[in-house]
Amino acid sequence: MTRGAALRAVRRRESYAGRRESYAGSMYARRRRNYFLMMGGCVVLFVSAWAVVRLWSMPVAIAMCVVAMVIPPIAAMVANRRGPEDRWWDDPSGDPTSDEWWDELDGKKRH
């Protein structure tokens, strides 16, 4: 292998690694943001129900707690669902021929 071919191979691997990290970072950032927003709403509902709302209406405070009780499982499902742009199951492998082949099978590249 010539020096130029070796440098091209290293650059190609670096570009795949950078793409994979940026993609994974944005995917996990979106998931974390959604999860923490929903769980923050859960905490706000629970705390406000027993700190403020119970003074005016006990049934409304209990209803707020029931809604807060349902949020954590929904937050877990929403945070872990696969988005239409997520490709976590077939991240680029680093082999350009294999990646092109899988992209063609997935219909990602149209000729």
Above 90 in pLDDT, residue 110?
no
Q: How many CB atoms lie within 10 A of CB 20?
A: 15
> Model's pTM, two decimal places?
0.55
Above 60 in pLDDT, residue 103?
yes
How high is the pLDDT of residue 62?
96
Task: Put residue 29 in one of left, alpha, beta given phi > 0 → left and psi -120 to 50 → alpha.
Answer: alpha
Q: Name the pLDDT band for 56 (thresholds 50, 70, 90).
A: very high
